[in-house]
Amino acid sequence: MKFGKKRDGGMKKKPSRYSGDNGTIVRVFRIEDYDAVVALWRRTEGVGLNESDTRPAIAAYLRRTPRFSFVAEKNGRVVGAVLCGHDGRRGYLHHLAVAGRHRQRGIGRQLVNACLAKLRLAGIQKCNIFIFADNTAGMKFWKRAGWKLRTELRVMQIRLEDWHGAGNDCPC
Ligand SMILES: CC(C)(COP(=O)(O)OP(=O)(O)OC[C@H]1O[C@@H](n2cnc3c(N)ncnc32)[C@H](O)[C@@H]1OP(=O)(O)O)[C@@H](O)C(=O)NCCC(=O)NCCS
């Protein structure tokens, strides 16, 4: 589906949902979807939940980059979800999941494409994901979609509660 100028010069309205020929609708992830999405994430291998996945944390995430995260819905039920955001430089996808019996029908690709389209519209040039090193099935999905493994990079992280700096270390 393409968006852009109509022949009469007016702008076409961007739809907030996309239908696939697998009978699934991909639409914006709203906080009202939280319970269904967390239930899906909890039963999905390869998705690790933590303190950033509480309802308030997800609500804050969705507010920070509104309309970048998506769910897939079939017959009114959530069958897939993905979080997407960016920091103005790189895009990030988290927790992509499709319910077991709905896999291999293009839903995962639809969710990722919705995110990448939004990121591109926002002027973001590269998107990263974090994937558990033992998630070989997930890795095949990403590679199939053209994603490259950056073998020269490792993720490093610090928990801010373990960081012993002080508020007055910030020059702002
Ligand atoms: C990874 C996941 C989201 C894929 O969802 P999906 O809806 O089954 O994927 P799609 O049907 O859109 O697949 C797109 C393509 O990838 C391929 N693919 C999907 N899963 C694959 C797998 N496990 N192995 C090999 N190829 C795979 C499909 O065959 C399809 O190929 P095509 O281009 O020839 O049509 C789903 O398997 C899942 O939820 N896995 C567990 C959670 C997970 O690992 N998430 C990623 C965390 S980083």
What digits encode the pLDDT tens for the residues 70-87? Answer: 999 999 999 999 999 999
Q: What is the CA radius of gyration of the chain?
A: 18
User: Is residue 164 included in any domain, yes or no?
Assistant: yes
pLDDT (0 to 100) of residue 16 = 62
User: Is residue 3 included in any domain, yes or no?
Assistant: no
Q: Which ligand 1 atom minimizes the distance to the CA of 130?
A: 48
User: Is residue 1 included in any domain, yes or no?
Assistant: no
User: Is residue 10 included in any domain, yes or no?
Assistant: no
Cβ contact 110:117 at 8 Å: no
Cβ contact 33:78 at 8 Å: yes
Full residue range of the structural domain in which residue 131 is found: 17-169
Q: Which ligand 1 atom minimizes the distance to the CA of 131?
A: 48
CATH number, residue 124 = 3.40.630.30
**Cα–Cα distance for residue pair 56/100, rounded to 1 Å:** 27
User: Is residue 7 included in any domain, yes or no?
Assistant: no
State if residue 91 touches ligand 1 by the CB under 6 angstroms criterion: no
User: Is residue 6 included in any domain, yes or no?
Assistant: no
User: How far apart are the CA of 106 and the centre of ligand 1, in A?
Assistant: 8
User: Is residue 148 included in any domain, yes or no?
Assistant: yes
Count of domains forming the chain: 1
pLDDT in tens, 79-128: 999 999 999 999 999 999 999 999 999 999 999 999 999 999 999 999 99
User: How far apart are the CA of 42 and the centre of ligand 1, in A?
Assistant: 18
Which residues are registered as beta bridge partners of 82? 70
Cβ contact 81:48 at 8 Å: no
